[in-house]
Amino acid sequence: MALDAQTGATIRGNGRVPGLAYGVARWVQRAELVSSGTPRDGAAADGTAPTATAAAPDAEQVERERQRFVDAAGTVSARLDARATAATGVSAEVLAANAVLARDRGWAKAVGKEVTKGLGVEAATLAATETFVEMFTRVGGRQAERITDLRDVCARVIAELRGLPEPGIPAFDQPGVLFADDLAPADTAGLDAAMVLGIVCEFGGPTSHTVIIARDLGIPCVVGASGLTAIEDGTPVLVDGGSGTIQAEPDAQAASAAAAADRELRDKAAAWTGPAALADGHRVDLLANVKDGEGAEDAARGPAGGIGLFRTEMAFLSQPSEPGVEEQAELYARVLGAFPGAKVVTRTLDAGSDKPLAFTGMPDEENPALGVRGIRVDLLDRGLVDRQLDAIAEAGRRVGAAQESPWVMAPMIATVDEARDFGERCRERGLTPGIMVEVPAVAVAVDRFLPHVDFLSIGTNDLTQYVMAADRMSSGLAALNDPWQPAVLRLIHRVVETAAASAAGGTGRIVPVGVCGEAAADPHLAMVLLGLGVSSLSVAPAALPFVGAALAEVTLEQCCAFAALALDADTADAARAAVIAAARD
């Protein structure tokens, strides 16, 4: 979103929960996690690591300090449990998990050990906590993300030992944007979504509790925003949870209008539960793009009508050697089984370019986007795709009647020979063959490809990059890499019209044409695509409710009118503006 007048700094992080939030920044105040230096506390007064400087304690002193920890940790645990009982969903789970952490025997034992070295209970608690933090840091990954949980529980226990109120988020007297170094689970679990418009953290990974809970509550969220401390408490900010930007002191009127419009969209999307249909009742095949079994099962719990693109290469990105047919079949069966009786389109490996797969043995190339990628892996080893097709066929057999003749498509098809060959290999195995239309050569000569396949899926991400000769990874070329570009829309139109004409013109074979690139996730462009005659749209699950809710407000007749407007424009911006204006009226 571009604002006309912006007076403050812009900070960038990782947008994790999309949406705009405009309000004042409210920083979480943290308890000082240093020893207060009470008797027997061996921490340095400047807060550096505590050392055992006190004389060796007697057994009675050790027991007394140890018991103080057990009591304080028990009180904290009981409070967290009580809050867990009062909460629901993910919040309840997070609070309960932290209550268990406060009672952790290993932690209590480590504190006891520090106490016997001569540390007071506060210093011992801090020292024991840091031992675990170091360990979690060494292990890394998800374990490292739990450090925030442990530090939060530690801060609560220390506050209890000092007789202070529990640390946490500030009381909001008006809605605002929560700022923190990293949010503790117990903070996020108690969030009031009516008061917290957005969440921004200086640290935090993609699976942190902050992100999980923000997503659960539908609060726009950005994490990993380094330099955030430059924005002071009380500063008005506009946070974009999609792009990950935080603008300090934006133009107030423009920012609040943008946030209000965005909120309206999000409310509509949250209220939309499917199935997808236009306002006139015309059903829409609105499908999900997934990359693994978990994603497929998640999608099945939402309003997706099936899977329009299963990116199999994404499941194997970190694999050093080719997964065996059995391992592949297990994964594919999980994805097929997530949508019994519905459409599930598995794409064969689209390795290469931005998605290199070590085990394919692809060469380093000067220009990998135009090199060996997708179906061109056949040039190195046909066995890779053959074994994958064997695994998909086996997965189909395992799922049985729920997925008869699974749909499979090949990426980066450029020639009729490739399409014919792929079609034959699929049919030999009882699979339903399709190809992606992402190389312009296919779109231009699509009539020649139709006899060899049973469906087409337009990959607008690559189609746009190849039509416009603009690297899809280049942020500087984003304006060229826009699927609203007239040449891209005309090519899509040509593909759909040719497929329809071929069916009507005597072949009798209807070859459905779907779109599975990002273009389908833009609600206005989704309307245009349906107006052009596209029969299915496949989008990231997060975008699906936004598209579904927007489509529910327009008729097919309107979509056709929007398509005509878009096709008539000279530029991408003009096409977009014309359709947005028409949809608003």
> Residues 453-472: x/- map of binding to Mg ion (CB under 5 A)?
------x--x----------
* Least separation in angstroms between CB 291 and Mg ion: 13
516 catalytic? Reply is yes
Q: Terminus-to-terminus CA distance in the chain, angstroms?
A: 22
Query: ω into residue 486 within 30 of 0, thus cis?
Result: no
Q: Is 512 in the site for ligand PEP (CB under 6 A)?
A: no
Site for ligand PEP in 216-235 (CB under 6 A): none
Catalytic residue among 201, 221, 426, 516: 516
Residues 6+ apart with CB under 8 A from 141: none
Q: Which is nearer to ligand PEP, 217 or 290 (CB)?
A: 290
Reported as half-sphere exposure (CB side, CA atoms, 13 A), residue 530 has a value of: 29
Kindly state the DSSP code that residue 405 receives in the 8-state scheme.
Answer: S
Q: Is 313 in the site for Mg ion (CB under 5 A)?
A: no
Q: Which range of residues in 23-31, 256-264, 321-329, 453-461 is near ligand PEP by CB under 6 A?
A: 453-461
> Site for ligand PEP (CB under 6 A): which residue of 195, 461, 480, 564?
461
Distances (CA, A) of 448 to 48, 153, 419, 501, 567: 73, 65, 10, 13, 24
The option from ligand PEP, Mg ion, none interacting with 245 (CB < 5 to 8 A, set by class) reads: none
Site for ligand PEP in 235-274 (CB under 6 A): none
> Site for ligand PEP (CB under 6 A): which residue of 93, 122, 438, 482?
438
> Site for Mg ion (CB under 5 A): which residue of 145, 438, 482, 518?
438
559 catalytic? Reply is no
- Please provide the DSSP assignment of 104-147 as one string: -HHHHHHHHHHHHTT--HHHHHHHHHHHHHHHHHHH-HHHHHTH
Query: 361: helix, coil or strand?
Result: coil
Q: Parallel, antiparallel, or unpaired: how do β-strands 14-17 and 245-248 relate? A: unpaired
> Site for ligand PEP (CB under 6 A): which residue of 350, 394, 421, 454?
350
* Least separation in angstroms between CB 388 and Mg ion: 17
Q: Which is nearer to Mg ion, 56 or 473 (CB)?
A: 473
How many CB atoms neighbour CB 507 within 10 A? 12
Q: What share of the chain is helix, strand, coil (3-state, %, to 5)?
A: 50, 15, 35
Residue given tokens 């050392």 in the structure block: 51
Q: Which stretches of 163-289 are DSSP H helices?
A: 185-189, 209-217, 252-271
Burial (Cβ within 10 Å: 0-12, 13-18, ≥19) of residue 41: buried
Q: Which is nearer to ligand PEP, 114 or 518 (CB)?
A: 518
Among the listed residues 69, 514, 529, the one whose alpha carbon sits nearest the alpha carbon of residue 306: 514
> Residues 395-424: x/- map of binding to ligand PEP (CB under 6 A)?
------------------------------
> Site for ligand PEP (CB under 6 A): which residue of 459, 512, 514, 523?
459
Do 91 and 27 meet the contact criterion of CB atoms below 8 Å apart?
A: no
Residue given tokens 């009507």 in the structure block: 504
Q: Which range of residues in 77-85, 155-163, 231-239, 456-464 is near ligand PEP by CB under 6 A?
A: 456-464
Q: Which is nearer to ligand PEP, 198 or 433 (CB)?
A: 433
Catalytic residue among 201, 209, 221, 452: 209
> Site for ligand PEP (CB under 6 A): which residue of 462, 489, 548, 549?
462
Q: What are the residues binding ligand PEP (CB under 6 A)?
A: 309, 311, 350, 438, 459-462, 516-517
Query: Catalytic residues, which ones?
Result: 209, 516
Q: What are the residues binding Mg ion (CB under 5 A)?
A: 438, 459, 462
